[in-house]
Structure 1
Amino acid sequence: MHAFRIMLATGAALVAMPAGAETLREALAKAYANNPTLTAQRAAQRATDENVPIARSSGLPGLSLNGSATDNVLQANNNFLNPERIANGQLQFSVPLYQGGAVKNAVRAAETRVEAGRATLRGVEANTFTSVVAAYMNVTRDEAIVGLNQQNVHVLEVNLRASRDRFQVGDLTRTDVAQSEARLALARAQLQSAEAQLIASRENYIAVVGAPPGTLESAPPLPNLPTSPKAAVDVALERNPQLIAARKAADATRYDVGVARATRLPRVAAVTTGTYFNYLGSIPTVANGQRIPGSGTAATAGLQLSLPLFQGGQPAARVRQAEAGRSQAIETLTATERNVVATTRSAYAQWQSSEQVIASSEAAVSANKLSLEGVRAENSVGTRTILDILNAEQELLNSQVTLVSARRDAYVAGFALLAAMGNAEARDLGLDGGSLYDPTINYQRVRGRIGDFGGDGEPAPVATSTAQTPAQTAIVTKPLDPSLDTPVDRSAGLTTGAQAPNR
């Protein structure tokens, strides 16, 4: 993990960076602070934190005040002491002493779900970073593909001019010129399609990162990649955040069963009540020579026992419901484990496959460059046709596009593999140079609160809107990778159509 942090923080510095270039680490930092999916999950975790004080509140003392005022509009004639009006006030203080373990189990369940929520937050964080990496690499790939297609259009335009020149002197037929025109038209169409894809990738980058992509620097190497699928799965089974969350969720259901069982157990509470009454001057002050008070107070204290004897089957139903919920959580855990194993192995296979495609594509690009150079040279002496040149150029373009696509696929698959292994969190990515979000801070802040009044106020948006960002274009200013932009034919005469031996 520490190696990963160092590589993302400094890997881009290994190559010359143009002024204003944006690194992958900077893009990840922007998304970490500004991605709405991530900020929403943080808010969801804060809401989950509140379940702990809610569960604890059932075991804390309670204080309530009840009051009433009654006006007897119709009274019996034979009871002159029946008051016309009466006001009552009652203050009750109760302390739960025993609730069958309901509070203890509810608190433990809530605390376990807080831990599950933190793991879920880690998973959302890793998924967000994976989306950022994919968006970053998509823009990089599509910029390269647009550049390759622009280069291809330029080459075909040169070929077409050369073909027309040779047609004018009778060296080529109209068919040769038509073939060049058709291939150029196709290349322009492919360029337009590539430009549209680049615009889409740049807009998706804005949606994920929150800002338009600038000049993107080459992504640094990914360290700590596993040596085998088994090694990857072993780490994933221990560290994958979704799997950890599923385990904690299953653990919490054990306490839910305890809460359900407590509904059929006795409950004991200490209760103290103070009462005040006032007849509001509606009865005589003296009757039969006895003074009658118009108001009074009373107080009681004692223990309150509640012993459920029959509840219509509700406790048993709640227990069965909780047990079924636990069974569901256990099966969900198994399904999550299966998914983690499959995802990890698939990511490993895709990463390995893409690495092999890169090696094959690099060989194909080199071979197609030599082939095109040879075909052009042979065409200059009349042993190859214009169509042979056009086909060789198209094969070179296809192999170059395959190469840049494979590089993108390998990097994204490698990062997805690290995410599946639980090694793609903010601290793993070297984002701890600034302030990182710590979910335990809010939990510690609210866990012990017992006040009935208060709140955090009206929430303000954290993630910013992208509605005001400019619409993206397909302009490419970054030069091609030198390995893709090496001149195919080093003879200026052959590439410009001049000084050909058969002219």
Structure 2
Amino acid sequence: MKFKSGITGLIAGIALSSPVAAQSLQEAVQQTINENPEIQSAKDERLAVEQEIDQARASYFPTVDLAAGYGFEQSNNPSTRARISGTPLFRSNQQQGTVQYGREEASLQIRQMLFDGLATPNEVTRQEARTNAKAYNVFGRSEITALKAVEAYLNVLRREELLKLAQENLVVHARTNDQITLRSEQGIGKRADIEQSTGRLSLAETNVRAEEGNLKDAKTAFLRVVGALPGQLETPADPNTLLPASIDEAIEKAVENHPILKSANADIESAVSQHETARAAYMPRVDFEGGGSYNNNLDGIPGKNEDLTAMLRLRYNLFNGGKDLARRRETAHLIAQSKDIRDNTYRQVVESMRLSWVAHQTVKDQLAFFKNHRDSSIKALEAYQLQFNIGQRTLLDLLDSANEMFIAKSAYTNALYDELFAAYRILASMGGLNQSLGVTLPPETIPLGK
């Protein structure tokens, strides 16, 4: 039969496309963490901000500036005009008092900050807080991306299972169609029964094609997140044993461990340090400055000029138009903004956990009903088949029963994977998904001093 050969080809195609080596969920997520571009971008941002700590610490060290020059100078000033024109080194130009020399100059200046109003230590603290915020961002991005990888992994398994169910449904309808065709050839069946059975068989074939397309889409989504097409995937272990006992405990752990909330707290520390850095403008600055210079034929005066200095210099701005006061007000508002962002993040963390928990409990409570529906539909089809064989059921009853069994099995399969993903979603909402899977996070997720 044409449909039988189609079924054989579909099953053979699926078998040939399945690699031998199996990939676990932990391996897929680890590959994602190691290679996903979004995580790599977050890591680079964290490393870039960390370099600003060294930039801030540079103010603790002295600055050394070297300058040197050699060239030509033409001067006309009171000193040159007061000279006697017969001096050997003096060459008169068209304008009396203009002299020309070869100019040489060199200088070395050293400056060491002794006190800058505590601007440097506060700036270092600010950059350390910013670095920690970015580290928690890498952690949070790793959790989010890991959850996407888990979803892609489970969807491939889900679609493979749904494809098998669609193929089994096709086999059931093909078997029924063969039975109806044989009856018609023997003069027992009706022509209308053949048409009805053939139509249902075509619909079953369409379901198989649709599930094949869905599986390909799921594999493409897997490729986008993980970075490689899936091979043969292992069924993951049940994560329900890792979940908290109650929603209150889950929320407490989420608030305590969620990386995005920790990042928001680090941003507050950064804003406070920035506010303290702005206070430095109200204080004097003290530097030690030393240097030496060598000049020859400078400003129209022939001969060498050498200087050597060592000075303590105090600089204190007394008025700059209210700029420093405005800056302090600005940084105070930035602290308030950081706290507002933290409070909003707290609400989002709590909301995310509650939604994840409710979704998990809802589908978990439904599983028993989906299972009963599936088991009942299987038994009903078996009974309808026997009754159809002895003429107690119509063909329409049999086909409807087969279709209901397919729908019930598909619904139960979807519920199983929905419940599994909801459990992983709870772990991600607590900031513990990668840890529960045994995934090694990049060192950029570790805050300074930890």
Q: Same fold (TM over 0.5)?
A: yes
8 Å contact kept, 1:368–1:395: yes
Q: For 1:213, what is the secondary structure of its paired residue?
A: coil
Q: CA RMSD in A?
A: 2.3
8 Å contact kept, 2:128–2:448: no
Partner of 2:392: 383
| 2:191 matches 1:174 | yes
For residue 253 of structure 1, the aligned residue among 265, 268, 271 is 271
Counterparts of residues 317-356 of structure 1 (less than 5 Å): 317-356=326-365
| 2:109 matches 1:100 | no
Q: CA deviation at 1:237?
A: 0.6
Partner of 2:262: 244
Q: CA deviation at 1:73?
A: 3.6
Farther-moved stretch of structure 1 (320-329 vs 234-243):
320-329
Q: For 2:328, what is the secondary structure of its paired residue?
A: helix
Q: Which amino acid aligns with 1:438?
A: P
For 1:423 and 1:45, locate their aligned partners in 2 and report how far apart those are by CA, in whole Å: 21
8 Å contact kept, 1:357–1:403: no
Q: Which amino acid aligns with 1:393?
A: A
| 2:119 matches 1:114 | no
Q: CA deviation at 1:421?
A: 1.0
Q: Which runs of 5+ in 2 are unaligned?
A: 1-18, 84-89, 91-98
Q: How high is the TM-score relative to the length of structure 2?
A: 0.86
Partner of 1:307: 316
**Number of equivalences:** 414
Q: CA deviation at 1:243?
A: 0.8
Partner of 1:369: 378
For 2:327 and 2:352, locate their aligned partners in 1 and report how far apart those are by CA, in whole Å: 36
Q: For 1:58, what is the secondary structure of its paired residue?
A: helix
Q: For 2:60, what is the secondary structure of its paired residue?
A: coil
For 1:78 and 1:105, locate their aligned partners in 2 and report how far apart those are by CA, in whole Å: 55
Q: CA deviation at 1:64?
A: 1.1
Q: CA deviation at 1:69?
A: 4.4
Partner of 1:51: 52
For 2:370 and 2:334, locate their aligned partners in 1 and report how far apart those are by CA, in whole Å: 52
For residue 366 of structure 2, the aligned residue among 334, 338, 357 is 357
Counterparts of residues 226-237 of structure 1 (less than 5 Å): 226-237=244-255
Q: CA deviation at 1:397?
A: 0.9
For 2:299 and 2:368, locate their aligned partners in 1 and report how far apart those are by CA, in whole Å: 101
For 1:25 and 1:422, locate their aligned partners in 2 and report how far apart those are by CA, in whole Å: 16
Report Cα offsets for 1:425-455 as digits up to 9, x if no partner.
3x442235xxx532389979xxxxxxxxxxx
For residue 136 of structure 1, the aligned residue among 146, 153, 165 is 153
Q: Which runs of 5+ in 1 are unaligned?
A: 1-17, 285-293, 445-503
8 Å contact kept, 1:85–1:280: no
Partner of 2:424: 415
| 2:81 matches 1:78 | yes
Partner of 1:29: 30
Q: CA deviation at 1:111?
A: 1.0
Q: For 1:279, what is the secondary structure of its paired residue?
A: strand
Q: Which amino acid aligns with 2:49?
A: T
Farther-moved stretch of structure 1 (342-351 vs 166-175):
166-175
Farther-moved stretch of structure 1 (223-232 vs 134-143):
223-232
| 2:273 matches 1:272 | no
8 Å contact kept, 2:131–2:447: no
For residue 399 of structure 1, the aligned residue among 367, 391, 408 is 408
For 1:421 and 1:402, locate their aligned partners in 2 and report how far apart those are by CA, in whole Å: 29
Distance verdict in 2 for CA 1:303–1:282, change over 3 Å: closer
Q: CA deviation at 1:197?
A: 1.1
Distance verdict in 2 for CA 1:381–1:281, change over 3 Å: closer
Distance verdict in 2 for CA 1:46–1:281, change over 3 Å: closer
| 2:168 matches 1:160 | no
Distance verdict in 2 for CA 1:385–1:441, change over 3 Å: closer
Q: CA deviation at 1:281?
A: 13
For residue 442 of structure 2, the aligned residue among 432, 437, 441 is 437
8 Å contact kept, 1:49–1:443: no
Q: For 1:50, what is the secondary structure of its paired residue?
A: helix
Partner of 1:147: 164
For 1:195 and 1:317, locate their aligned partners in 2 and report how far apart those are by CA, in whole Å: 64
Partner of 1:8: none
Distance verdict in 2 for CA 1:266–1:70, change over 3 Å: farther
Q: Which amino acid aligns with 1:226?
A: P
For 1:74 and 1:271, locate their aligned partners in 2 and report how far apart those are by CA, in whole Å: 31
Farther-moved stretch of structure 1 (144-153 vs 115-124):
115-124
8 Å contact kept, 2:75–2:300: no
Report Cα offsets for 1:183-209 as digits up to 9, x if no partner.
122222222121111101111212222
Q: CA deviation at 1:373?
A: 1.0
8 Å contact kept, 2:139–2:445: no
| 2:143 matches 1:126 | yes
Q: For 2:242, what is the secondary structure of its paired residue?
A: coil
For 2:397 and 2:335, locate their aligned partners in 1 and report how far apart those are by CA, in whole Å: 68
For 1:49 and 1:70, locate their aligned partners in 2 and report how far apart those are by CA, in whole Å: 44
More helix by share: 2
8 Å contact kept, 1:83–1:279: no
8 Å contact kept, 1:350–1:413: yes
Q: Which amino acid aligns with 1:313?
A: G
For 1:34 and 1:417, locate their aligned partners in 2 and report how far apart those are by CA, in whole Å: 24
Farther-moved stretch of structure 1 (84-93 vs 153-162):
84-93
For 2:161 and 2:432, locate their aligned partners in 1 and report how far apart those are by CA, in whole Å: 29
Q: For 2:23, what is the secondary structure of its paired residue?
A: coil
Q: CA deviation at 1:83?
A: 5.6
Report Cα offsets for 1:238-293 as digits up to 9, x if no partner.
01111111111112111111112222322111111211112299866xxxxxxxxx
For 1:109 and 1:96, locate their aligned partners in 2 and report how far apart those are by CA, in whole Å: 19
8 Å contact kept, 1:49–1:442: no
Partner of 2:94: none
Percentage of pairs with the same residue:
29
